[in-house]
Structure 1
């Protein structure tokens, strides 16, 4: 029995239902849903030509051109991809931008082969609207609590240990600081918002209780926190993680030297990765040069370069502690302390990382 088409967007996202996206690759790149697969009816050039035809000669001529462009071997190749997806994902659905002609066309072509595959009514536009509305609703209905603390206290580790938390930096693929860019780049703004809304939707479906988020500014790298979320976070109560300088330096070494170094080697290879890693951190340091002051910047930069030279010779990362401690103590700590004084949210609890995790009901790690 054929499955019906659906408008149950909530179920699609809660159950991570596989989705076949008929939109052109350029549309998909601007914004998509986690787990959606780009299997377009037309590529960007074909879509542009059909659009121009529609404007100049009307709908009938545009449809005829579309059938002309997607014919023969082109159509057969794309049909094979759609059929493979339908076979591999029997619970899935297909959609285009508005759930209109493109998705209906593919649905009809599949049906002629004996494959009844349902579509999402309203398409991408309706699903996107659902997620926007859900995010705005969720931040008003949920009690948000912010994990705050100085740089290096391991706030992200706390978020990862809590069952009712959203990892904003993880979703942004950025660690939130001037040094936080990761190889591979960040998601589009729309992709970030879609994933965040789905996270909140799933937490809401899982039951009541506070939702923990890491305390962030308006932007995480190149992506913006949605306005509704920023407003809710501005008034949210805080849980402050406190660790001594040595423990914080150890966290930064692990994240920005060991882990980031591994990522650069995976991306650029063992030969070029280390140099790319150092160049990246030096460029990040250069971006805060004006705020550091010329003399302090030069001193930190020299320590950074020397630490990498020692690491490359001996494999020892100990020397990185010096420049990291200097930045934490003289740059990041005063900035954080000032920002904390400007916050309106009350402090619910202060403690070490382990104490905060225990207080918030997380799993020790």
Structure 2
């Protein structure tokens, strides 16, 4: 039985329904959804040619050109890819930019190939609008902010809470100078899409009070949505006060052990070590002016020596030589100062477990 074309955007995102994105690759690269796969009706060049024809000669000539460009073996190859996806994902949908011509053509060609497959009414534009509206709606809901010095495990805690919203996970960046991952940070559009989908899934569990990590307005190159950046500064704060050594151990694990492993897994042994060393070097370089050049050079030298020892012997001990002073002389004083300006909003302090239990009891 043919399923109806859908405008139940909440269902599509809350349930990770697979979707075919029939837009051109350049459109997909600029912004897409994690549950979608790009199987375009037209390539970038074909789309550009049809768009030019539309402007110069009108819609009828543009459609005619489109059918001329996507015909014969080219059409058969694209239909075959759609068909494979549809057979693997019978519960899925397809969409184009507005749910118009490209969706209807794709749907028709699939029907001619023996498959009835529904499309998303309104297409990408309507899906994107729904996600933006979701962020704006959730931003008005009650919220609590988790604060704490670098290494307090704030992001870990957010992901352990049923009502936690992981801003850094959505941005694919940890916010600090050393915050990048091996793979590229998400575009602004994809950051917002990922964030909104998290929110949709929480709403689907009837969650109406949300917990966020204390962030600046930028997480790497990603900018917080305006609705959140306006409301977060007024929210209550729970602060994690964990001992220095526990925080240091977390940082060594996250920024040294895990990152070295990920670089090697991504690039191979030799290039992985080179890129790992470069990642740490660049993280320190980014804050050289705030550190002062003399202190920067001392810490940078200690950092690169620690990488060499780690590569030669596997020992992590020398990473303390740059991480300890970096925390004591830079990150801790900076965050303590920032938190002092929010003192009237702090309503709970405790170690990691105490903050977690307090947040879960609210």
TM-score of Structure 1 vs Structure 2, range by shorter chain: over 0.9
- Give the aligned partner of residue 124 of structure 1: 124
- Give the aligned partner of residue 32 of structure 1: 32
- Give the aligned partner of residue 134 of structure 2: 134
Q: Structure 1's 345 and 16: CA in aligned 2 closer, same or farther, altered over 3 A? A: farther
- Give the aligned partner of residue 337 of structure 1: 336
- Give the aligned partner of residue 44 of structure 1: 44
Distance 1:361 1:128 in 2: 32
Cα deviation per residue 1:141-192 (whole Å; 9 max; x = unaligned)?
Answer: x211111100011111111211211111111111110111111111111111
Per-residue deviation at 1:344?
A: 7.0
Q: Which moved more, 1:302-311 or 1:185-194?
A: 302-311
> Under a length normalisation based on structure 2, what TM-score does the superposition of the two structures give?
0.97
- Give the aligned partner of residue 182 of structure 1: 181
Q: Does 1:348 align with 2:347?
A: yes
Per-residue deviation at 1:4?
A: 0.8
Q: Structure 1's 229 and 247: CA in aligned 2 closer, same or farther, altered over 3 A? A: same
- Give the aligned partner of residue 15 of structure 1: 15
- Give the aligned partner of residue 153 of structure 1: 152
Distance 2:323 2:100 in 1: 55
Distance 1:270 1:345 in 2: 50
Alignment of 1:1-365 (within 5 A): 1-140=1-140, 142-343=141-342, 346-361=345-360
Distance 1:69 1:134 in 2: 39
Cα deviation per residue 1:90-136 (whole Å; 9 max; x = unaligned)?
Answer: 11111100000000001011111221111111111111111111110
Per-residue deviation at 1:210?
A: 2.3
8 Å CA contact 1:146–1:238 kept in 2: the answer is yes
- Matched residue count: 361
Cα deviation per residue 1:19-64 (whole Å; 9 max; x = unaligned)?
Answer: 1111000001111112111011001010000001111111111111
Q: Which moved more, 1:161-170 or 1:68-77?
A: 161-170
Distance 2:96 2:298 in 1: 55
Distance 1:90 1:353 in 2: 44
Give unpaired runs (5+ residues) of structure 2. none
8 Å CA contact 1:19–1:93 kept in 2: the answer is yes
8 Å CA contact 1:245–1:325 kept in 2: the answer is no
Cα deviation per residue 1:307-343 (whole Å; 9 max; x = unaligned)?
Answer: 1122122111011012101001100111111111223
Per-residue deviation at 1:201?
A: 1.6
Q: Which moved more, 1:282-291 or 1:345-354?
A: 345-354
8 Å CA contact 1:138–1:201 kept in 2: the answer is no
Cα deviation per residue 1:231-269 (whole Å; 9 max; x = unaligned)?
Answer: 111111111011122111111100111001111111211
| SS of match in other structure, 1:10 | helix
Distance 2:210 2:138 in 1: 10
Q: Structure 1's 344 and 244: CA in aligned 2 closer, same or farther, altered over 3 A? A: closer
CA RMSD of aligned residues (A): 1.3
8 Å CA contact 1:188–1:223 kept in 2: the answer is yes
Distance 1:163 1:38 in 2: 32
> Under a length normalisation based on structure 1, what TM-score does the superposition of the two structures give?
0.96
Give unpaired runs (5+ residues) of structure 1. none
8 Å CA contact 1:180–1:221 kept in 2: the answer is yes
8 Å CA contact 2:163–2:207 kept in 1: the answer is no
Distance 2:315 2:213 in 1: 31
Distance 1:212 1:137 in 2: 15
Distance 1:121 1:272 in 2: 46
